[in-house]
Chains A and B, each alone.
Chain A
Amino acid sequence: MLVVTTTRPLDLLDVDALHSEEELAIRAVVRRVVDDHVRPNVADWYERGQVPVRDLAKEFASVGLLGMHLTGYGCAGAGAVAYGLACLELEAGDSGVRSLVSVQGSLAMFAIWKYGSDDHKDRWLPGMAAGDLIGCFGLTEPDHGSDPGSMKTRARRDGDDWVLDGTKMWITNAPLADVAVIWARTEAGVNGFVVPMGTPGVTAREVKHKLSLRASCTGEIVLDGVRLPADALLPDAKGLKAPLSCLTEARYGIVWGALGAARDSLHTALDYAGAREQFGRPIAGFQLTQAKFADAAVELQKGYLLALHLGRRADAGVLKPEQVSVGKLNNVREALAIARQCRTILGANGISAEYPVMRHAANLETVLTYEGTSEIHQLVIGQKLTGLAAFG
């Protein structure tokens, strides 16, 4: 029985020395929570395509994971680097489990925290931080993904009320959420609305038959003449840049999270290659295998240093959206390459659910696309470099 040392590949550069004691303590707690509550069960959740979101949310909330980088309203007020480390550890368990925390904290809670009224914050944030209330974030539509500015969902005034019509697609946690932050076109442009999921006219349907991110609950939200009071509007969210700022928050978490899936794949492959013998010796001793390990470890470390740089910029309050694009583009792309390469080291066993590698690789196909596709991030970076927008 091999003893798994879960930091090995990152020990290569002693990156732990770059962290504060507090950051490492927070990481240690998340690692324990994932070891105790995610790892033993996640392969089964994935197989069944069902995940106990509410139970996990309560467990995660007990240590302060939900909205951990926000302040007040029961949130922990941790730094961006600590939040990143938490995302890394969560995604070392599963990208879908990390998505749960990202959507709750960085999308739903952040939108209310940043753009909501005091009443919105008082009503929703403490319960969301405690894991009693689940939030979701409706921006993407069936026909409007990378181009959210062309969204079809409309909010029109009717007296003092707002009436919403439209459809939102690929919404994490929508089928079980208590509240949604819905983005809709108004006469003034794009606005955000806090929509209790029990409001008449709101229906949510689960997206079935996914081949990726199966340990995550994904849904479609249909808004059919949904009547909301005037104060449902997020008062401080004006224009598309508001939801995009939420995406920047979530993307930042992904920059770190993807590294977790890659690290776990690499750990698994290292253990496997140390124990698996072919031609009379462990396959870890073959040059081709070592070349794969070396390349994977180098990319993992480069990605880590990139994530840490972005995290320090975020903690200093100077992180720019295009910098997050650099991180998301690189780290998810490289994490996916690492997971695929590690799968080859496990050979036929690599496709078995007994090992997490294929699950990570399949999950990362989603992560590559959501929160801005790789192509969109290339265009964001391209626009910054050339001054010319190739889209919009």
Chain B
Amino acid sequence: MKIVVLVKQVPDSGADRNLRSDDNTVDRASASNVINEMDEYAIEEALRLQEAHGGEVVILTVGPDRATESIRKALSMGPDSAVHVVDDALHGSCAVATSKVLAAAIAQQGADLVICGAESTDGRVQVLPHMIAERLGIAALTGARKLTVDGTSLTIERQTDEGYEVVTASTPALVSVWDTINDPRYPSFKGIMAAKKKPLQTLSLGDLGIAAGEVGFDGATSTVVEHSKRPPRQAGNKIDAGDDGGSKLVEYLASEKFV
């Protein structure tokens, strides 16, 4: 089985993150960039499938030159090779255009299974997996907290607010995962040292048969027109511990659906 894992480089969600003042896109140049956290779970799931069933795991990333740092980190966990789609024309791409690029690259790879994180910590769009599956005409098993593979049949437990749903499909398919699905491994030292020698293929839009105008700002279905910093947090409500303090506290908690 050939598994393609989608990996995105994102600004570290634990550090200061900004949008650029000139074009309102994510400021990736000055940020501390890391692998999108949810993608580590996708990599782990792919590696576990490979360990159980054999096959090949390929990392696929769309992003600027410096995304190679995250690709090498992803490879250090154990995948076999990586494909990096990098093209200046991609800057400013919306999710719809990005899904076109990813779908083309996946099709070129001939993947049996695509695994990705359920969301990225920068865009938080969450619909990219569905878009990719739709473009490829394959099943989308999204929001998985558990994945079972038996030959060509796939079963996931889709996490919901109330519990989970069991969803099945056959390969080829796409599975998006939440961080409840596994416990990602640490890259091993051998993995780190081997990562720099693993094949890393770089593709341009032309290599995927996509015209520059279909992506980037020109091809965007949505554009950020303006942005501003989140306002500073307001002072909270203070409940005095008077005779009815307890009741007021419970009323507040109930109004916010905490109790």
Contacts and interface: CB of A to CB of B under 8 A. Distances in A.
B166 to A, nearest CB: 32
A22 B196 contact: yes
Q: How large is the interface on B (under 10, 10 to 19, 20 to 34, 35 or more residues)?
A: 10 to 19
B192 A33 contact: no
A29 B193 contact: no
A76 B188 contact: yes
Contacts of A76: 188-190, 193
A22 B192 contact: yes
The interface residues of chain B, by DSSP majority, are classed as helix
Interface stretch (A62-70, A367-375, A379-387): A62-70
Contacts of A26: 189, 192
B185 A29 contact: no
Given A21-B72, A25-B76, A63 B193 contact: no
A22 B187 contact: no
Nearest to B76: A25
Interface in B76-95: 76
A101 interface: no
Contacts of A157: none
A21 B69 CA distance: 9
B214 to A, nearest CB: 34
A64 B185 CA distance: 12
A160 B186 CA distance: 47
Given A76-B193, A77-B193, A78-B193, A25 B73 contact: yes
Contacts of A82: 189
A78 B190 CA distance: 8
Contacts of B186: 29, 32-33, 62-63
B258 to A, nearest CB: 21
Interface centre among B73, B185, B186, B196 (most CB of A within 10 A): B186
Nearest to B196: A22
Interface string A24-68: 011001001100000000000000000000000000001111001
Given A22-B196, A25-B73, A62 B189 contact: no
Interface string A81-101: 010000000000000000000
A29 to B, nearest CB: 5
A64 B188 contact: yes
Q: Which are the 9 A-B pairs with shortest beta-carbon distances? A: A64-B189, A76-B189, A25-B192, A64-B188, A63-B186, A63-B188, A29-B186, A78-B189, A76-B190
24 contacts: A21-B196, A25-B76, A25-B187, A25-B192, A26-B189, A26-B192, A29-B186, A29-B187, A29-B189, A29-B192, A33-B186, A62-B186, A63-B186, A63-B189, A64-B189, A64-B190, A65-B189, A68-B189, A76-B189, A76-B193, A77-B190, A77-B193, A78-B189, A82-B189
Interface of B: 69, 72-73, 76, 185-190, 192-193, 196
Interface of A: 21-22, 25-26, 29, 32-33, 62-65, 68, 76-78, 82
Given A25-B76, A33-B186, A62-B186, 4 more contacts: A26-B189, A29-B189, A68-B189, A78-B193
